[in-house]
Structure formats: structure tokens, C-alpha cells
Amino acid sequence: MTIKIFKNFCILSLDKEPGGISSMIESSAEALALHCKTLNIFLPYSILTNKNYTKSFLNIKNLHTNKIKYIQRKLLKIGFLSMSLRKKLEKANIVYVHNSNLLKVLRKYFPDKKIILFFHTDKIRQFKEMKYADKVLTVNKIMKNKINALYSNKALYLPNTLYSTKEYKTLKYYNRNYNKKSNLVIGAMGRLVKKKGFEFLIKTCKEIDNLELVIAGDGNELNNLKKISYNYKNIKLIGWVKNKDSFFKNIDVFCSSSFIEPFGLVIIEAMARGIPVISTKCNGPLDIIKNNKNGMLIEINNKLELKNAIIKLKDNKVLRKKIGLNGYNTYKEKFTFSKYKKNINYLLKQI
């Protein structure tokens, strides 16, 4: 694989809290670092002081972290670029941004510089900002096609990946115990917000016998979900988990019940561990899952379809094992970090 090397790349993000986007900043930084002599990454103070996040950067020798100061962030939001930040960005061959609202201000100061947007959402209202980007990297094909209908050939499809360096090097297909006699355990994970559909998932699982539901995560829907699951001992809200392997080892089926899901990184995390997945037909999962082959797809917010899918897997151990193995093979074929690096290399040749 021939790799083109640039002198300097810059990555810029204003997201203040670690989450799905920050995970992809990690992965994209490691992949992009292979293509430049110097990689400067600019992040808010709250991110750079999070040791669980920044320790991954220590493995990237040519990466330099830069704190976006409070005043710099405020200026960016109203359309101004501080002189100190401007001088650093001037050196970049390509500037990569993870927030669409940065595009206009960067284009104002750098009319001729290559600016690439990592587009992590399905928010169509952000399309108007994309006229200021040279390319837009989308995490699902539906958004890619919609953007290209508006801006010809501007969007490229770049599916997410699991981060490479430590945790995911040990991922393997677990030889799960499909003959156990205990209840089937459904697992779900994510921010406890309405768009993730956890209320819909809980209400569905309450109607199924001999079933356990374990939800990992935290958010503003926590109290509401506790009320809905009150007096149901088979439904557990366990908060954020530090050891994802431990969580996944103790579930039989993973369920993504989202109403909106641009990609669904946690789906890939389940597949990488050989766990069969049920997901709603959001834009991201539609690219990942082939129904009844490497997962099961249901209509969004359709209780009957979700109930039937869970019961189908609950009553059919052979199908669970088949879908789990096919999901694992999908991960190995399309979503490993090695595949992501090849995708980045291919995209850079088109930019």
C-alpha cells in the first residue's frame, strides 16, 4: 500500500465531553498520523485533561496536542480566529474538523487551504455549512448520497472503526455457551437520552417471559427509565461501565433501539465479540446489517417487530450462533482498524 506523506495535518474539534465523536478523533488521528510528518490536534481543555482519553495520544509519536482556550473557543463561535491559533493552522497542508460550524470561519481565513469535515451526524440543517468544505467524510451512505445531491461529489463514505491500540487488539470471537439454561440476557448501551429509544426497549422487554435486560449508560432519561422499570427485577440499569468486555461477556444478544443512529459504534463492538445484534433501521445500522444474516433489523419504534425478533433469537440457539458468527466476520471484513487505515489512504488519494 503506497502512502502519500504530507508535511503537516491539523485536527480541530470543539466537543467538550468524551463520547462517540471523541472516540473517532482518536482513531482518525492515529490513521492520519501515518500520512504526515507532524500532526497537530486542537481540543478543548476538558478533553485534554481527561486521562482516559488523552493516554491514547501517547502512542502517536508525531502528534502534538494543543489546548483550545476559552477565549479562542468563544471567538470561533462568533466567526473569528485568534492570531495564535491562526498561525498554527497556517502551517497545515490539510485541516480536518469535527464540527460543521467551524467550516465558515476557517474558510474566511484560509480561502485556498484544503479543509475536510468529519460528519458524524444525520442533521440535514448542517448541510448549508458544507459549501465551505473541500470534502465531507460521512459515516453512512444515506447522508453521503444526500450531500452529493446538493454538492456534487463532495461527500465520501468513511465508516467508523474500533480504536486499535490496546483494548481492541485482544478482541476475538467468544465461544459463547448457547446451551445454558438461565434466562436470555439482552444488553444495551449508550447515553440515556430519548433518541436512543431505551423506554421503547424496556416496555417491550417487560412483555417477554424468561428474559433479562441490562442497560449500561447514564443521561437525563435515567430517572424516567427507573420509574418505567420499577418492580421489574429482571431489568437493570447499571450506569457507565469501564470494562466493556465484562459487560459484553454477560449478555446473549445486543439491542440498539435508537430512533436516530448515524452509525452505531456499539453495534460494531458487539459484533467484534460475536454477539448477535438486533437494531432499528436507522441510517448507520442499515449499512452494517443484512437482516437475518449478520443481525436483525426492525422498524423504528415498532414494539411488535422488536418483540418478535427477541423471541425468535431467544427460542433459536442455532440462529443466535449463526448471526453472532456472521456479525463477527462482518467486523473482521469491514470495520477493523486495518481496514480503516486503508480507507483513509484511499480517500487521501482523492483529496
Burial (Cβ within 10 Å: 0-12, 13-18, ≥19) of residue 180: exposed
| Average pLDDT for 333-342 | 94
Q: What pLDDT does residue 175 have?
A: 60
Residue with more model confidence, 322 or 174: 322
The total of other beta-carbon atoms located within 10 Å of residue 175's CB is 8
Under the banding of pLDDT at 50, 70 and 90, the label for residue 166 is: very low
CA dihedral 48, 52, 53, 57 (to 10 degrees): 90
Identify the pLDDT of residue 181: 62
Report pLDDT for 58: 78
Residue 169 pLDDT class (50, 70, 90 cuts): very low
Q: What pLDDT does 51 receive?
A: 67
CATH node for 167-334: 3.40.50.2000
Amino acid identity of residue 295, one-letter, is G
pLDDT at 350: 82
Tens digit of each residue's pLDDT (9 = 90 or more) over 22-79: 778 888 999 999 999 999 999 988 877 776 666 778 788 999 999 999 899 999 989 9
What would the mean pLDDT of 320-331 be, rounded to a whole number? 96
CATH number assigned to the domain with residue range 6-161+336-348, chosen from the 4 options 3.40.190.10, 3.40.50.720, 3.40.50.970, 3.40.50.2000: 3.40.50.2000
Q: Are the folds of 6-161+336-348 and 167-334 the same?
A: yes
227 has a pLDDT exceeding 80: yes
Buried b (16+ CB within 10 A) or exposed e, 83-114: eebeebbeebebbbbbbbebbebbbeebeebb
Q: pLDDT digit string (tens) for 105-137? A: 999 999 999 999 999 999 999 999 999 999 999
Domain spans in the chain, listed from the N-terminal domain onward: 6-161+336-348, 167-334
Does 173 score more than 70 pLDDT? no
For 274-302, the pLDDT digits (tens) are 999 999 999 999 999 999 999 999 999 99
**Whole-number pLDDT of residue 112:** 96
Residue 13 confidence (pLDDT) above 50: yes
